[in-house]
Chains A and B, each alone.
Chain A
Amino acid sequence: MKQSEQSPREHATVPAVPHSAFSTRHSPLCTPGEHRLSRRKLLGGAALAGAAAAGGSLGLGSLLAAAETGAIKKKHKQVLFVWIDGGMSQFESWDPKPNTQFGGPFRAIPTSVPGIQISELMPHSAKQMHHLSLVRGMCTKDNAHSSGVGRIQRGDPKNRGVVYPFFGSAVANFLGQGPSGLPPYVWIKPGSGGFIYQDAGFLGPKYGALAFGDGKPPENLLRSERVAPADDDLRNMLRRKANERFAAAHPAEPVEAMDFVYDTARELMKRGDLFDEANFSARDKERYGDTEFGRHMLLGRKMLEAGVTFVKVNSYGWDTHGDNFNGHANLLPKFDRAFASIVEDLAERGMLDDVLVICLSEFGRTPRINGHVGRDHFPEAWSLVTTGTGIRRGVTVGKTNELGTYVSGDEYDIGHLFHTWFAALGIDSKAVEYDNHGQPLPLAHDDCFPIKELLA
């Protein structure tokens, strides 16, 4: 085939193009989607697609939906994504190897599932094990934080010269904002917040994360004291009427897009109460732990209850190259309380049937204990935990050898998990493709597949 005869649609599947060449030498600049169409063009369209998916009828969507919440909410899938940044040690958490060469000082304890043991540092999670599933056969490819975080959260697909979306942006794209009218992808994290458009990759900024830095609402979220609620209603009613008049003789799309962002902004503003810690019950605060992560997980639960489609909660500081054991002895109990509490709460409220729960790091930690009594980066054999909608509960999938130095049996890359999670959300990742300006792109790595044992 002569190269000139290829259309962009064929680009991704052209057999004449050796993929190895692409993945090793391909320019990071080369994004085939840019050949024909401007990027903003997609954005404009995407904003409307999102709006349409979100509300059914533009503008009025969120109002109508509010009345039907009960019926729709059952069907709207959500995701809780807990990111343990820096690399949690599987030895000290989900895959303990007590009394072995690299096992470290901690014991293993029984859990609510006979036959599954986890580290003694996680007594609360142990009680919730029947709600959880462990993947102990994780084997991934990147041992650097800087690239690993993105690689794992983007699902490490084959390199096609485009930047893939983080899982949160991907889910926001497929599931939309749901009946809540709230932004579909929020990220609760220590440090600064804002609109993190980078997560969205080729999907475009609209699908980026709205980050609540330090668990606080984003800038300008809270209604100004200058504007009483009635005044806010009045001014927005007047704005909407002005838009209606303008749309009579002008293209509808810009007006619809404007109304959509204002509707979303107003839905968010109405939920300023979510951020008010005064609304957290004393019992919840005690159960989740009076820690930053505990507060953030509690806020995460509130966001899920409010109907946010994808909630990411971050915990930082797990890179224990030195003093790994004291480090984990300090970090894990804080994690354990908050994580076990949110799982318990979601299960109790029946939300696990609709909420997919994922908890992982960019990699695990080495069996070898280094000279600083630390463990280093180890993508070769580590564990993650998942549960919720579409996932079998109370099982372990994959295993490591006795010393924890490699995966024995089936190895699972992050691509397998992406296929599994998409399947759990009802998205057939082998049939559905992204359409990046005419370039078809698979949702997850072509060579991976959903893990059947993990699917309910």
Chain B
Amino acid sequence: MPSALRPWSNNYRARWCSAAVVGACLSIFVSNLSAAEVESLAKRIDRQIEAKYSGPRAPQADDAELVRRTYLDLIGRVPTVEEARAYLSDKSADKRVKLVDRLLTAPEHSRRMTEAFHATLMERRGEHEEWTAFLREAFAKNMAWDELVRHVIDPRDDDPALRGAAFFAVNRLSKVGQQETDYPGLTRDVGRLFLGKDLACAQCHNHLFIDDYKQVDFQGLYTVFLNTAIRTDVKYPALGENLMTKPIEFMSVFDKKPLATGPRVPGLREIAIPTFAKGEEYVSPPDRKTKAMGVPKFSPLEKLAEEITSPKNRAFRENIANRLWWLVMGRGLVDPLDQTHVANPPSHPELLKLLADEMLARKYDLRAVLRELVLTEVYARGSAWNATRGGRPEPATYGTAVAKPLSAEQMYHSYLAASGPHGPKAHNAGALRERFTKAFANPPKEPEIEFAPSVKAALFLSNDDEVLRLTVRDSGNLVDRLVKLAEAKDGGADAAAEELYLAVLSRKPTADERREVGELVTKYANERAKLFGQLTWALLSSTEFCLNH
């Protein structure tokens, strides 16, 4: 960000006054503005990061690194060569803010959020068109996170656009081969994904070495899901509930003392199970003929969805704050994301509290919070580290940007954007996307957190025919443009080098890289289409391309 926009820049503030003094000064001089307007959330985030670490840091990312990062994070692909050029040549002071606002309202943004949250919530267990439709609808209208989660936990089928939310539970409860219906797994994932707590080990006893994970925490959630079943009266994924009349009974495998709990969110009060006169329990009773499950008057799912997302439940807003932070910063404030407990404190406790409180204050408007996150200085920190300055700062200091692996979807969209534009006949989009997913996605149930390159993916990029076709010369595509540029007598090779690096890596080539391209162009003067095909492939298969750094 140009320093003109930051009258209270880092250096200035660090040298002359503490953050608290800045705050005080501001409130004196601009007292007619509200606190939020005076200091954006982005700036408050940066203050928290700076307060925690004052060691050596990488400089801010240059325009090229930042534009690539922002495109990948907000719309799930690298910028095209025109988009990269436009940003690099834009001289306006507010170009970063304009870019962020444009990307956040682009249709590709909701696609990106759909893909990111699909991977997070389903962990590659499978896809379903209704589930995708639900996520698309939710992110297209920027549905509040608490509302989205209520749909997922307590899926209803009255709105066809939203009923696909049931797939979250239905997929986990489906029998696969000899695998049993996985109620414990569903319970565990609700804890992991919406509360940031992996309660799996507390199913049969209080957690052995995490003090605050109790068996009752697991059982209070478990009883709600144990009371559900996949509906068989409809074709689409749908979840029904049985009648809940009493608390679940359980005991620790160690001391075997009988215990019981009703539905309960960890840390909150137990939800009372109401009693009804016989025959009065249902809104509509079960129907054996149609196989329709009854609709009980007391819906534990509904209550649980309310309680989990209620302001009483701090874990809920901390979890989404942490996950959104992780999505763009590459590392959770609580790390691992599902290990929120006393023995694993956040790296920046006040920052997590700030983000969680802002989530609530902004009514779980993910887009609004995301906007602030990507406008911070910490987001725009450079990823390169000059070794002459000593060791690279630890990731948790955010002294450099933390590189994130490109997801399968980001790889697919970016591969096309970089090597294209491609005509409609160049590839079969649906099938190719599926093959990218197959090659790059993690095995099912493995959260996609770390960079995990595989032989399978290497073979895919090396030999898949349709992938290879993308780097074969075809009217207007990157290789075609490179061949034409290189034909120019003066500076042709250099222009091609620039086009290539901007298209694939969103940056201009270094002198070294320009020289390499120049030499190759001379050496392969008679086979330039082939040369540029291999060169494009090499950069598309490089580590630099596979990381969002």
Residues of A within 8 A of B (CB): 3-4, 6-8, 11, 14, 17-18, 21-22, 25-32, 34-41, 43-44, 47, 146, 161, 183, 195, 197-198, 205-206, 210, 218-224, 226-227, 231-232, 234-236, 238-239, 241-243, 245-247, 249-251, 254-255, 257-258, 260-262, 264-266, 268-269
A40 vs B335: C-alpha distance in the bound complex, in angstroms?
12
B530 contacts A231, C-beta separation under 8 Å: yes
A242 contacts B468, C-beta separation under 8 Å: no
A3 contacts B468, C-beta separation under 8 Å: no
In the complex, chain B residues whose CB is within 8 Å of the CB of A195: 454-456
A36 contacts B344, C-beta separation under 8 Å: yes
Residue of B whose beta carbon sits closest to that of A200: B443
B443 contacts A197, C-beta separation under 8 Å: yes
In the complex, chain B residues whose CB is within 8 Å of the CB of A239: 537-539, 541-542
Which 8 pairs show the lowest CB-CB distances between chains A and B? A40-B450, A238-B538, A249-B384, A38-B336, A235-B534, A265-B458, A220-B459, A29-B200
A21 vs B252: C-alpha distance in the bound complex, in angstroms?
10
In the complex, chain B residues whose CB is within 8 Å of the CB of A26: 204, 253
Q: How far is the CB of B508 from chain A (nearest CB, A)?
A: 14
Query: Of B206-214, B281-289, B415-423, which stretch is located at the interface?
Result: B206-214
In the complex, chain B residues whose CB is within 8 Å of the CB of A40: 442, 446-450, 452
In the complex, chain A residues whose CB is within 8 Å of the CB of B335: 38
B534 contacts A234, C-beta separation under 8 Å: yes
In the complex, chain B residues whose CB is within 8 Å of the CB of A235: 534-535, 537-538, 541
A241 vs B538: C-alpha distance in the bound complex, in angstroms?
9
The residue that A250 contacts in the complex, of B385, B454, B510, with Cβ under 8 A, is: B385
A195-B456, A231-B530, A250-B385 are contacts. A31–B200 as well, Cβ < 8 Å? yes
In the complex, chain A residues whose CB is within 8 Å of the CB of B385: 249-250
B9 within 8 A of A: no
| Chain B CB within 10 A, most for which of A40, A197, A226, A242 | A242
A219 vs B253: C-alpha distance in the bound complex, in angstroms?
47
The residue that A261 contacts in the complex, of B211, B254, B448, B453, with Cβ under 8 A, is: B453
Q: Which of B433-484 contact A (CB under 8 A)?
A: 442-443, 446-460, 462-465, 468-469, 472
In the complex, chain B residues whose CB is within 8 Å of the CB of A47: 452-453
Q: How far is the CB of B534 from chain A (nearest CB, A)?
A: 4
Residue of A whose beta carbon sits closest to that of B177: A146
A39 vs B339: C-alpha distance in the bound complex, in angstroms?
12
B82 within 8 A of A: no
Contacts across chains A and B counted by CB atoms under 8 Å: 206
In the complex, chain B residues whose CB is within 8 Å of the CB of A247: 543
A27 vs B250: C-alpha distance in the bound complex, in angstroms?
13
B185 within 8 A of A: yes
A30 contacts B203, C-beta separation under 8 Å: yes
B465 contacts A8, C-beta separation under 8 Å: no
The residue that B339 contacts in the complex, of A3, A36, A44, with Cβ under 8 A, is: A36
Which label, helix, strand, loop or mixed, suits the secondary structure of the A interface?
Answer: helix
In the complex, chain A residues whose CB is within 8 Å of the CB of B546: 254, 258
B271 within 8 A of A: no
B463 contacts A246, C-beta separation under 8 Å: no
In the complex, chain A residues whose CB is within 8 Å of the CB of B456: 195, 218, 220
Q: Which of B209-224 contact A (CB under 8 A)?
A: 209-211
| Chain B CB within 10 A, most for which of A31, A223, A239 | A239
The residue that B543 contacts in the complex, of A27, A34, A35, A254, with Cβ under 8 A, is: A254
A25-B253, A38-B336, A246-B544 are contacts. A221–B459 as well, Cβ < 8 Å? yes
A384 vs B239: C-alpha distance in the bound complex, in angstroms?
49
| Chain B CB within 10 A, most for which of A37, A224, A254, A262 | A254
A226-B468, A231-B530, A265-B458 are contacts. A39–B446 as well, Cβ < 8 Å? yes
B538 contacts A27, C-beta separation under 8 Å: no
A35 contacts B403, C-beta separation under 8 Å: no
Residue of A whose beta carbon sits closest to that of B537: A235
B455 contacts A44, C-beta separation under 8 Å: no
In the complex, chain A residues whose CB is within 8 Å of the CB of B151: none
B336 contacts A238, C-beta separation under 8 Å: no
B208 contacts A6, C-beta separation under 8 Å: yes
A35 contacts B454, C-beta separation under 8 Å: no
A38 contacts B450, C-beta separation under 8 Å: yes
A222 vs B465: C-alpha distance in the bound complex, in angstroms?
11
Q: Which of B515-549 contact A (CB under 8 A)?
A: 516, 530-531, 534-535, 537-539, 541-544, 546-547, 549
B118 within 8 A of A: no
A54 vs B360: C-alpha distance in the bound complex, in angstroms?
51
A30 contacts B543, C-beta separation under 8 Å: no
Between A and B, 23 residue pairs with Cβ closer than 8 Å are: A4-B211, A17-B208, A25-B204, A27-B184, A27-B200, A38-B335, A40-B446, A41-B450, A218-B456, A221-B459, A227-B462, A231-B534, A234-B531, A236-B538, A238-B534, A238-B535, A246-B544, A247-B543, A250-B383, A250-B385, A250-B549, A262-B462, A265-B458
B455 contacts A35, C-beta separation under 8 Å: no
B512 within 8 A of A: yes
A251 contacts B392, C-beta separation under 8 Å: yes
A246 contacts B450, C-beta separation under 8 Å: no
A29-B188, A269-B459 are contacts. A243–B209 as well, Cβ < 8 Å? no
| Chain A CB within 10 A, most for which of B463, B468, B537 | B463
Q: How far is the CB of B191 from chain A (nearest CB, A)?
A: 11
B450 contacts A219, C-beta separation under 8 Å: no
Q: How far is the CB of A207 from chain B (nearest CB, A)?
A: 12
In the complex, chain A residues whose CB is within 8 Å of the CB of B248: none
B178 contacts A7, C-beta separation under 8 Å: no
A26 vs B458: C-alpha distance in the bound complex, in angstroms?
39
A19 vs B530: C-alpha distance in the bound complex, in angstroms?
64
In the complex, chain A residues whose CB is within 8 Å of the CB of B446: 39-40, 205
A8 contacts B535, C-beta separation under 8 Å: no
A25-B253, A35-B339 are contacts. A4–B209 as well, Cβ < 8 Å? yes
In the complex, chain B residues whose CB is within 8 Å of the CB of A183: 455
The residue that A37 contacts in the complex, of B336, B442, B549, with Cβ under 8 A, is: B336
B204 contacts A30, C-beta separation under 8 Å: yes
B201 within 8 A of A: yes
B403 contacts A269, C-beta separation under 8 Å: no
In the complex, chain A residues whose CB is within 8 Å of the CB of B537: 235, 239
A18 contacts B254, C-beta separation under 8 Å: yes
B386 within 8 A of A: yes
In the complex, chain A residues whose CB is within 8 Å of the CB of B392: 251
B200 contacts A261, C-beta separation under 8 Å: no
Q: How far is the CB of B516 from chain A (nearest CB, A)?
A: 7
The residue that A220 contacts in the complex, of B185, B463, B516, B535, with Cβ under 8 A, is: B463
A146 contacts B178, C-beta separation under 8 Å: yes
Q: How far is the CB of A197 from chain B (nearest CB, A)?
A: 5
Q: How far is the CB of A238 from chain B (nearest CB, A)?
A: 4
A11-B209, A26-B204, A41-B450 are contacts. A261–B534 as well, Cβ < 8 Å? no
In the complex, chain A residues whose CB is within 8 Å of the CB of B386: 249
A28 vs B183: C-alpha distance in the bound complex, in angstroms?
12
In the complex, chain A residues whose CB is within 8 Å of the CB of B535: 235, 238
In the complex, chain B residues whose CB is within 8 Å of the CB of A4: 209, 211
A264 contacts B455, C-beta separation under 8 Å: yes
Q: How far is the CB of B413 from chain A (nearest CB, A)?
A: 20
A6-B208, A36-B344, A47-B452 are contacts. A262–B203 as well, Cβ < 8 Å? no
Q: How far is the CB of A275 from chain B (nearest CB, A)?
A: 14
In the complex, chain A residues whose CB is within 8 Å of the CB of B451: 44, 254, 257
B280 within 8 A of A: no
B350 within 8 A of A: no
B210 contacts A246, C-beta separation under 8 Å: no
A27-B200, A219-B459, A266-B462 are known; give 20 further A-B pairs, CB within 8 A. A11-B209, A27-B204, A29-B201, A38-B337, A38-B449, A38-B450, A41-B450, A44-B451, A205-B454, A224-B465, A231-B534, A235-B537, A235-B541, A242-B542, A242-B543, A249-B384, A250-B403, A261-B453, A264-B458, A265-B459
